[in-house]
Amino acid sequence: MHRNPWSGFARASLFAAISFLSACIDSQGIAPQAERLDAAQLDPGSAIRRAERDAAWPDTQWWRAYGDPQLDAWMEQALAGSPSLAIAAARVRKARALAGVVESAEQPQVAFDTNLQRKRWPADNFYGPGDLARSTSWNNASLLGFSYDLDLWGRERSRSHQALDRARMAVAEGRLAALELQGNLMRSYVRLALLHAQQDIAQAALAQQEQILRLAEQRLRDGIGTRLEVSRAEAPLPESHRQIDALDESIDLARNQLAALAGKGPGEGEHLQRPTLDLQQLPGLPAQLPLELLGRRPDLVASRWQVAAQARGIEVAKAGFYPNVNLLGGIGTNATQGGVLDFLRYDKLTYNLGPALSLPVFDGGLRRGQLGAAAAEYDIAVEQYNRTLIGALQQVADALVRIRSLHQQQALAAEAVAAAQKTCDLALLAQKRGLTGFDAVLETQPVLFQRQLRQQQVRAELLGAQADLLLALGGGVLPEPGGPDAATLAPQEPRLRFLPKY
């Protein structure tokens, strides 16, 4: 058999031409520049080092450490019925569904199309003159089509991984939304406790003012007092009643806020009783706090998945520089004349099968721009992660510094209240024995109530700071490996794969 000597040369020339043309668009000089910070190399600060000790992490239901059954029940209701968490859950479902849509591009695609048309053919240079000119006939066709992207450079595979990384990021963001809800509810609950304490102090102040008024009126009846003393004792009563009414309003508003956070109507908040918060023991901090933060703070987990997704985006943009080969095929029938079902006859059968090559030659800088944008997005994600990591360490250190200071302030506030109480008791005793007038009593009472109020404020700030520390630590330990959350939030190190130059 005679062999054409030019056939081999033609094939080699075609391959060389493809290689040369694909080299016309290259990705040299475009690469990410940002580097992720290593938490182990960051100095956590003296506040964190002082707090490190061998201890277990707090449980995810960290609020139970406050020993308030009403808080426990209300937090569970909020996590189950909050609209914000329902929105976050819907976003997770959407991200997972979109990941499935992207992943479907990796699979073979099969589609069946058919159409039945009754058509009138014109008489022109394309269709006639001929048998079909000015005639009407059936023009029916059917096709079972097949396509499969060979994905030689991993573009579709990288897109699938990118979509999965974004779905995992949505899961972490859902966990972050839950933590934000827990923090907001806890702060509102602590405020409710403080308002009740302020109400007690205001009512105690009113009771003592009314007692002083009764003593002044008794002295006037006994002929040893004056109308001025009675008038001075009556003067603070209206303001005290106003303060109590304002506190009642604030308590009702706090209950409404707690009901809204739990996804309930204001009527449910009316059943809230006075909080009984008591947190005596702080959770221990593990010795490797920065590394542990990476696996427990949902904002850091979400940032890491964002970095992974952007790394996949670089791979997708990089694959665009190389030829794309699809395998296409189809089998069907076509009939222009005859009966309505003649297109189903065997002699009307047609089929096709073969590869389709798409080769970038010149795109005016489109692919280089896409790769540059993907590299910049990766740098942005890395720097956002670095910022989140540094902010996480600052939040933990700030919470520890604040707790340390508030513990000292609590002790000093108690001493101040004890001293003011002693002074007030001595002034009342001296007044009863006739050694002093009401001026000394009136001067000591406001000081006592002011210091009692400050003591309750310090206590509320301490309870809130302890909650902020637990939230800064990620809200407790995640489920054990193997659970649904552990599988989606497990820390992974995404590897950035650069394709070789074609």
Q: Is the pTM of this model over 0.85?
A: no
Query: What average pLDDT is seen over the chain?
Result: 80
pLDDT, tens digit (0-9, with 9 covering 90-100), for 400-413: 889 889 989 999 99
Q: What are phi and psi of 397, to 5 degrees?
A: -65, -40
Dihedral (CA of 312, 313, 317, 323) sign: positive
- Model pLDDT, residue 455: 92
Question: 3-class SS at 119?
Answer: strand
Q: Is the pLDDT of residue 72 over 70?
A: yes
Structural tokens at position 407: 């513990």
pLDDT, tens digit (0-9, with 9 covering 90-100), for 205-253: 898 888 888 888 888 888 887 888 888 888 889 999 999 999 999 999 9
Q: Is the pLDDT of residue 274 over 50?
A: yes
Dihedral (CA of 47, 52, 57, 62) sign: negative
Count other Cβ atoms within 10 Å, centred on residue 224.
Answer: 10
User: Distance between CA atoms of 381 and 383, rounded to whole angstroms?
Assistant: 6
Structural tokens at position 443: 């001067």
Cβ atoms of 452 and 208 within 8 Å: the answer is: no
Q: Is the pLDDT of residue 32 over 80?
A: no
Q: Is the pLDDT of residue 485 over 80?
A: no
Cβ atoms of 226 and 167 within 8 Å: the answer is: no
pLDDT exceeding 90 applies to what percent of the chain? 21
The band of 480, judged by pLDDT with boundaries at 50, 70 and 90, is: very low
Q: Is the pLDDT of residue 144 over 70?
A: yes
Determine what percent of the chain falls in helix, strand and coil, rounding each to the nearest 5.
65, 10, 25
- Model pLDDT, residue 127: 56
Domains of the chain listed by start with CATH number: 31-108+156-323+366-489 (1.20.1600.10)
Cβ atoms of 477 and 59 within 8 Å: the answer is: yes
- Model pLDDT, residue 364: 80
- Model pLDDT, residue 289: 55
DSSP state of 477: P
Selected residue with higher pLDDT from 38 and 409: 409
pLDDT exceeding 70 applies to what percent of the chain? 78
Q: Is the pLDDT of residue 393 over 50?
A: yes
Mean pLDDT, rounded, for 124-141: 73
Mean pLDDT, rounded, for 127-149: 79
Indicate the range of 20-24, 72-76, 349-353 predicted with least confidence: 20-24
Of the ranges 25-34, 232-241, 292-301, 488-497, the best mean pLDDT one = 232-241
